[in-house]
């Protein structure tokens, strides 16, 4: 697809964020060379869970690769995709897709651009291998330390017999693969010319670390952006801020979902571009991006007015919940979440 055709697709902008409604492979093929300075993305981990067929099953609550948990005590947990059901052909398709995606991405990146791709321990080795073959340089992994309720269970229907056994480890982290396009010259040369080639420190005396403490996405965010794979602002803001070493350039999320990465970029003061193929999620993102980006700032505004009205005790800043969720990162300021 040519740039002109891609530009006729619907798009939406808010602040410095632009979201396109189309397939990211088509979009990338029309993108000018050396125009993207970093990628932060959360693609479909097993590829098939966001196919039209599996999304139809999810919406009609018929399962497929999505595990639909039963309602318990009136509370309903979110559906989760199952990666243990992927066949050898599914894994080969995953490898082909990420190789093709990496190849399509490469020309659009400036030298030294960071590429951060969320994955799952069961399939991350395939995605990482495909991206390395596509020409990206592996730079490690960022660990999102998050305690989910997945895994750790005893064998199904034999709980008592095997009371001391967990079939799978209880998941306590999520890999975010870190790659980059190779540098032109030394890091300092690349930084001067392209503004890329490193990671932004949370503060002058603290290096960017590869473990970021997180929490499952808070209910208040899930209500603003009901996407089955929504990632929390607090985590995304720390990560997105880190991928532009000098705080200059454009961050791309080619699998934008509800637009949470774009919202995080907006909150830390960066320009961003997103691409989302599913019309429902594109529509969702239009309303979610402004609301997610404003999280924290609305809270600070409310607290400022409460303080003015004397309803907040002096010396107390953000509410307990505000402190837990991290608040707005501020233009270029470090969110206080990097561990
Ligand atoms: C794991 S979700 C991302 C969720 C996002 N992190 C959030 O917080 O909302 C992946 C998204 O990629 C979209 N997607 C899948 N294949 C795509 C493609 N080829 N081009 C563009 N979007 C795609 C899916 O519709 C889905 O919304």
State the pLDDT at residue 30.
95
Confidence of residue 322 (pLDDT cuts 50, 70, 90): very low
What is the per-residue pLDDT across 265-301, written as a single tens digit (0 to 9) for each? 999 999 999 999 999 999 999 999 999 999 997 555 5
Ligand 1 mean position, distance from CA 76 (Å):
23
Q: Furthest-apart CA pair in the chain: how many Å?
A: 64
Average pLDDT of span 157-172: 95
- Closest atom of ligand 1 to CA, residue 225: 9
Q: For the chain, list the domains and their CATH numbers.
A: 3-46+83-325 (3.40.50.150)
Pocket residues: Cβ below 6 A from ligand 1? 23-25, 42-44, 50, 227, 229-231, 255, 257-258, 260, 275-278, 281
CA nearest to 139, candidates 173, 105, 115: 115
Ligand 1 mean position, distance from CA 278 (Å):
8
CA 104, distance to chain mean position in Å, is 20
State the pLDDT at residue 299.
53
Average pLDDT of span 15-28: 97
Asked if 115 and 104 touch (Cβ cutoff 8 Å), the reply is no
The residue among 123 and 66 whose pLDDT is bigger is 123
Average pLDDT of span 326-338: 36
User: Which residue among 6, 10, 50 has the greatest number of ligand 1 atoms within 8 angstroms of its CB, and so is best to mutate?
Assistant: 50
Ligand 1 mean position, distance from CA 282 (Å):
9
Average pLDDT of span 157-165: 97
Q: Could you list the beta-strand ranges (E) of the chain.
A: 11-14, 17-21, 36-41, 66-67, 80-81, 109-118, 137-145, 173-180, 211-213, 250-253, 271-276
State the pLDDT at residue 3.
52
**pTM score:** 0.85
Distances (CA, A) of 169 to 93, 118, 150, 177, 214: 26, 19, 9, 20, 19
For ligand 1, atom 25, the nearest C-alpha belongs to 278
SS3 39: strand
Average pLDDT of span 144-161: 91
- What percentage of the chain has pLDDT greater than the value 90? 69
Residues in the chain: 339
pLDDT of 255 higher than 50: yes
State the pLDDT at residue 82.
72
Ligand 1 mean position, distance from CA 286 (Å):
14
Output DSSP code: residue 20: E
State the pLDDT at residue 259.
98
Residue 337: which residues within 8 A CB-CB, separation 6 or more? Answer: 212, 213, 214, 234, 235, 237, 238, 326
User: Which residue among 81, 101, 237, 276 has the greatest number of ligand 1 atoms within 8 angstroms of its CB, and so is best to mutate?
Assistant: 276
User: Which residue among 65, 255, 267, 284 has the greatest number of ligand 1 atoms within 8 angstroms of its CB, and so is best to mutate?
Assistant: 255
Confidence of residue 324 (pLDDT cuts 50, 70, 90): very low
What is the per-residue pLDDT across 173-212, written as a single tens digit (0 to 9) for each? 999 999 999 999 999 999 999 999 999 999 999 999 999 9
Ligand 1 mean position, distance from CA 335 (Å):
25
State the chain's mean pLDDT as an integer.
Answer: 85
pLDDT of 263 higher than 90: yes
pLDDT of 109 higher than 50: yes
């Amino acid at each position: 697809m040519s740039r002109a055709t891609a530009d006729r697709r619907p798009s939406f902008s808010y602040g410095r964020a632009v979201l396109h409604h189309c397939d990211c492979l088509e979009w990338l093929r029309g993108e000018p060379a050396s125009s993207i300075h970093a990628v932060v993305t959360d693609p479909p981990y097993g590829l098939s869970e966001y196919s039209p067929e599996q999304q139809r099953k999810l919406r009609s609550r018929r399962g497929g690769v999505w595990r639909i948990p039963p309602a318990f005590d009136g509370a309903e947990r979110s559906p989760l995709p199952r990666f243990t059901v992927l066949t050898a052909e599914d894994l080969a398709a995953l490898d082909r897709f990420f190789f093709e995606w990496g190849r399509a991405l490469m020309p659009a990146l400036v030298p030294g651009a960071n590429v951060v791709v969320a994955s799952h321990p069961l399939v991350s080795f395939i995605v990482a291998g495909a991206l390395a073959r596509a020409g990206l340089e592996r730079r490690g992994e960022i660990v999102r330390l998050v305690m989910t309720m997945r895994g750790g269970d005893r064998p199904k229907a034999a709980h008592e017999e095997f009371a001391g056994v967990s079939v799978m480890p209880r998941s306590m982290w999520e890999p975010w693969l870190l790659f980059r396009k190779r540098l032109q010259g030394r890091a300092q040369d690349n930084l001067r010319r392209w503004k890329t080639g490193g990671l932004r420190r949370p503060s002058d005396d603290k290096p960017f670390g590869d473990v970021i403490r997180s929490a499952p996405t808070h209910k208040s965010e899930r209500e603003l952006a009901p996407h089955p794979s929504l990632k929390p602002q607090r985590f995304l803001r720390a990560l997105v801020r880190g991928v532009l070493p000098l705080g200059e350039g454009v961050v791309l999320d080619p699998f934008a979902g509800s637009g949470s990465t774009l919202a995080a970029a907006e909150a830390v003061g960066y320009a961003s571009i997103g691409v989302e193929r599913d019309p429902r999620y594109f529509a969702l993102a239009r309303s979610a991006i402004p609301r997610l980006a404003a999280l924290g700032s609305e809270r600070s505004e409310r607290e400022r007015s409460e303080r003015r009205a004397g309803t907040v005790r002096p010396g107390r800043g953000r509410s307990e919940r505000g402190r837990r969720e991290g608040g707005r990162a501020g233009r270029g300021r470090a969110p206080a979440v990097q561990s």
